[in-house]
Structure 1
Amino acid sequence: MTRPRFQTFDDPSHAKGPERIEALRAALREVGADGFVVPRADEHQSEYVPADAERLAWLTGFTGSAGTAIVLQDAAALFVDGRYTVQAPAQVDTGIIVVVPVAETSPEAWLGAQLKAGQTLAYDPWLHTPDGVARLERAAAKAGASLRAVERNLVDAVWAGRPRPPAGRVAAHPEALAGEGVCEKLARLRAALTEGELDGLVMSDPHNLAWTFNLRGADLTHTPLALGYALVPTEGRAALYLGSSEIDPDLRAALGPRADLHPRRAFPEALAALAAGAARLRLDAATGAAALKGLVEAAGGVADVGPDPVTAMKAVKNAAEIAGTRAAHHRDGLAVTRFLAWLDRTGPVSEIAAVEALEDFREATGALRDVSFPTISGSGPNGAIVHYRVTRATDRSSREGELFLIDSGAQYADGTTDITRTVAVGAPTGEMRERFTRVLKGHIAIARAVFPEGTTGAQIDALARLSLWEAGLDYDHGTGHGVGAFLSVHEGPQRIAKTGTVALKPGMILSNEPGYYKQGAYGIRIENLVLVEERAIEGAERRMLGFETLTLVPLDRRLIDVGLLGAADAAWVDAYHARVRETLAPDLDGATRDWLEAATRPLAEGLA
């Protein structure tokens, strides 16, 4: 009997796109509105949403992790970022939905041009933050139109067979892996709330709920979350409101002295009670729905919209979380190395076969909980689609002279991984080697970077791009995102990007993943995870930081132009490969160990 897979390969279809768009327009007419906003979001602004919240995919066929559709009676548009400018037009019916890159036109600018005076734009207040609603209000007002919240989502009103909300099992996350108890975390949180002169926190981010209360759930694929809310007053008991009725007894026992557990349906009334009497409650600007702000204010409270203090606390990993992450990367490095050896021996394979083989190698560790995101397995031109997700309709086999890009990750109880390797299938062209080496130089520049305390991700993002810029090249995504500890593979607030405004701190984990994409030909990305750590520099006048590379998997030496790389960067590659070899070789079988020995030889020895 074949075991269930963590990843499926269903084909997205827009065959019913016109029918569904027309049904939504009919619903608009019934409520007397002229347009509706459909974000790719749930009530918590999650990256991965449950099936019942996949409204954007159901309506348009677009399956990316970020995007917004706006449907008017005479026009419809889908707004996507640079990751999806190739994918989106391939998935939606462009005869009825215009795909608009947000870098060229924002939804607000489009609305300003499309809305007419006197018209009404509807939205679901549970799927937008207060800031998002304010932007829509300004856009509507500029056109002489108005914005109206609806009680029932209009997509839900026409979505026949919509899935039921998830109610997965919720279990305790061992304190030995968490590294800190719930009492200690709540004490730190309440100190931050008191310092901010707040009466409590409305916790709307399920990641923060999982971290604060040392629990993990099963409401989503790829991220072990329990969807729900928590109320944490500065004085009195905390309370959790979860959709699941299956709560692990160990979790109930652990939380009993510290917090109350309630069904999710009790949350609105409890929030109103906490807000009564002009209580000042922090509402998370990133995940708190506009509907929550309305509930607080209707009860006489003050909604203080700002960052949830837990987000910053969670980003700095403690010693136990770091140790667990290192163990997860050792385990994952063995699995991915075995996969790469298999891929090299097997020759050209299909994209789906590669995904399934990699999942099998991770499953063989005996510790895999899930993949941390759908594997990006792109051969040849599909590798140039930044967030490509193979389906049975798009699956293709790699061919001699192409590149194969594999971006994947795993969820283990002790850590979360994310790694990208680009490999040559047969002999690469000179251009491929030159572009790969420029991406590698950027990757190494980040890995070797030393910077003073207080430096932000935006300040070091350019290091990854300099070699590409010298050749007139670039990439349209960030260089690095934060990563959780058996939580989300994409965790804020830290990031290495042009928009990365948060200072990097010791204990933060980020990805280091510059890339290059030649549309219609190939894609290149090199990704390792790194840990921010202190750097001791003799004579330093400031506290200095740097990165420890956590990922342990060889790079494809066949794609490296040593002459372009330079001596210092070549030394980094050799040192990295030596570390990979020394760490992994003792745990590999003979054939894979031999493959690894060859794959990690010093660059000066050439490819023979």
Structure 2
Amino acid sequence: MARFQTFDDSTSPSQGPDRIAKLRAELARRGYEGFIVPRADEHQGEYVPKSAERLAWLTGFTGSAGTAVILQREAALVVDGRYTVQAAEQVDTSVITPVQMAETSAEDWIATHLPAGTTLAYDPWLHTSDGLKRLEQAVTRAGGSLAPVDINLVDVIWVDRPALPQAPVRPHPGQYAGEDAPSKLERIRKKMTEAKVDALVISDPHNLAWSFNLRGGDVGHTPLPLGYAIIPCEGPARLFFDPAKITNEAGDAVGDLAEFVPISGFQAALEELGESGRKVRIDSATGSVALIRRIEGAGGKVDVGADPISLMKAVKNKAEIAGSRTAHHRDGIAVARFLTWLDREAPKGKLTEIDAVEALEAFRIETGALKNISFPSISGAGPNAALPHYRVTSSSNRPIEINQIFLIDSGAQYEDGTTDITRTVVVGEPTPEMKDRFTRVLQGHIAIARAVFPKGTTGAQIDSFARKPLWEAGLDFDHGTGHGIGSYLSVHEGPQRIAKTGTTPLEIGMMLSNEPGYYKPGAYGIRIENLILVEGRTIPGGDREMLGFETLTFSPIDLRLVEPSIMTADEIAWLDDYHAKVRERLAAELAPETRAWLEQATRPIG
């Protein structure tokens, strides 16, 4: 039995028709043609509380990204390539049409489907300024109009909507944070002065948590306290939370640095900012239109731009880096024990995807330091491994069969660090095609791990390194190569990423994932993921400041799936060296059976 995740089918395609019919009736009553339902909360978060799971409740789709547009006679669910198969399986396609974002964006769909002369409604708390501009352009192209609503129309019909979360807000110890809150606020205010703004509204709970060294538990698997903050250039900051969430420890830790204010007073505080005439920075990524309008409506000046905290948080300090190394060492031991168990039990033919999830979680719990998992484990056997963001449920649970690939993507939340690792293994004998595809993914992984690049390089500039071996065989994958990662915060953290959209220059101290993959629908999927840390590199004779990556994750890569004949000598040397480090770091703390398994699993192939 898993402690931190469940396998219930929380939604069903059958729920969509009735709920969409009720939403349409509510739209008609208010004189609207349609309503847009993004998969977001008031903070534009990827991970949201149950009370904000409006898209899942309405349609049945449970993915972490997607947008539904409900019109009176038709409806669309726009998703990216990760969720194409899942969307088609989870919604009633006679009522909702799944649409691939790569082919048609939500805005393009609106532009071609919204009847001229009609009105599309939206919730201003769930859209950013840039997002609203795109919506306005789409509606204009359709010849319609756009109207904000005072209450989310899904909430009107969601009679048993869960209550807002009230997890306790607690301090994050200084030994793990590595910098106290007064020092962070001083740096934040310096950035505000440089940007010539008088106040900063923190709408991203990750940034709030980092700035004041606080943690919570308002969303699943991420220690987030949901709330807002206002930081003026001078004077104490104000933190806006439900009073029921504030612990004495949090109050003592914050002290005179900030005043805790009930969340019910937040909108009045925004109006005060507006009336003061001060220039207020609103985060372009997470600040909703509702915040902007409240300030501007009171006569204030809004400066929409990047929250400077995001980049500050992305660059880890010495304590956070040390904590991450410790967390990865601890996690590596748990994963090695799991892989030993899997190698022993899977060939017996009695394991399922859920069995694997429960076993890995149990090994992590036995570390004595696990606070939570960092996201629901992706445990895919055979064709389920071809779904990049597959979530196993009681009804989808497959046996782990002989001569099939099994993929498990999982992570842990420890107080000293957040982990994320994917391993793909074969049970029995792989086909030559499986070995070829796995080795090409491995070559891409190695290319990122060995990359050396000048300061100022972005993730977009090195993303193709991971794809080149696949491209040479006419193959590719439809997700980014790497995402940023938080320090006992979100497993997905920006602005840094290795992807076509990764426009933020990489800096020393940033942590990212390195996870190329390959997916053959209906057959198998492959992904190899380690976490990496940006570090400085010295190149003899070079005249530029250069950067590279330190690998943080240490766990065997399945040699049964490796085809050495298509690898270069340098690639083989990297793999042998990596496996030598895995043995060196983990072996001494493993039981004899696991140590023997590890020696074999990390044997040199060069």
TM-score by length of 1: 0.98
Alpha-carbon distance in structure 1 between the residues aligned to 2:514 and 2:201: 33
Alpha-carbon distance in structure 2 between the residues aligned to 1:135 and 1:302: 22
Alpha-carbon distance in structure 2 between the residues aligned to 1:260 and 1:37: 36
- Pairing of 1:399-548 with structure 2 (within 5 A): 399-548=401-550
Conserved 8 A contact 1:283-1:306: yes
Deviation at 1:246?
Answer: 3.3
- Pairing of 1:309-348 with structure 2 (within 5 A): 309-347=308-346, 348=349
Matched, 1:164 2:163: yes
Secondary structure of 2:385 counterpart: helix
Alpha-carbon distance in structure 1 between the residues aligned to 2:384 and 2:116: 44
Q: Deviations over 1:542-575 (max 9, x none)?
A: 0000000000111000000011122110110000
Conserved 8 A contact 1:245-1:263: no
- Pairing of 1:541-580 with structure 2 (within 5 A): 541-580=543-582
Amino acid at match of 1:115: L
Secondary structure of 1:83 counterpart: helix
Alpha-carbon distance in structure 1 between the residues aligned to 2:23 and 2:298: 33
Matched, 1:237 2:236: yes
Deviation at 1:603?
Answer: 1.1
Structure 1 runs not aligned, ≥5 long: none
Of residues 269-278 and 207-216 in structure 1, the stretch that sits farther from structure 2 once superposed is 269-278
Conserved 8 A contact 2:436-2:563: yes
Matched, 1:276 2:275: yes
Alpha-carbon distance in structure 1 between the residues aligned to 2:583 and 2:300: 59
Alpha-carbon distance in structure 2 between the residues aligned to 1:125 and 1:26: 21
Alpha-carbon distance in structure 2 between the residues aligned to 1:178 and 1:244: 24
Q: Deviations over 1:316-367 (max 9, x none)?
A: 0000000000000000000011100000000141001101101000011011
Secondary structure of 1:603 counterpart: coil
Conserved 8 A contact 2:236-2:256: no
- Pairing of 1:35-434 with structure 2 (within 5 A): 35-243=34-242, 245-347=244-346, 348=349, 349-434=351-436
Deviation at 1:244?
Answer: 5.0
Deviation at 1:250?
Answer: 2.3
Matched, 1:19 2:18: yes
Alpha-carbon distance in structure 2 between the residues aligned to 1:50 and 1:350: 29
**Structural RMSD (CA):** 0.8
Amino acid at match of 2:283: D
Alpha-carbon distance in structure 1 between the residues aligned to 2:248 and 2:157: 39
Amino acid at match of 1:273: E
Identity, in percent, stands at 62
Conserved 8 A contact 2:129-2:284: yes
Conserved 8 A contact 1:443-1:526: yes
Amino acid at match of 1:78: L
Alpha-carbon distance in structure 2 between the residues aligned to 1:191 and 1:16: 51
Alpha-carbon distance in structure 1 between the residues aligned to 2:425 and 2:74: 43
Q: Deviations over 1:372-397 (max 9, x none)?
A: 01100000000000100000110010
Alpha-carbon distance in structure 1 between the residues aligned to 2:421 and 2:164: 31
Conserved 8 A contact 2:128-2:288: yes
Deviation at 1:274?
Answer: 2.1
Secondary structure of 2:311 counterpart: helix
Secondary structure of 2:496 counterpart: strand
Alpha-carbon distance in structure 2 between the residues aligned to 1:209 and 1:236: 17
Q: 1:8 maps to which residue?
A: 6
Deviation at 1:539?
Answer: 1.3
Deviation at 1:484?
Answer: 0.5
Amino acid at match of 2:395: A
Conserved 8 A contact 2:66-2:80: yes
Conserved 8 A contact 1:169-1:244: no
Alpha-carbon distance in structure 2 between the residues aligned to 1:441 and 1:181: 41
Amino acid at match of 1:310: I
TM-score by length of 2: 0.99
Alpha-carbon distance in structure 1 between the residues aligned to 2:587 and 2:52: 45
Q: Deviations over 1:164-191 (max 9, x none)?
A: 0001011000111101011000000001
Conserved 8 A contact 2:460-2:503: yes
Conserved 8 A contact 1:170-1:244: no
Structure 2 runs not aligned, ≥5 long: none
Amino acid at match of 1:403: I
Amino acid at match of 1:454: G
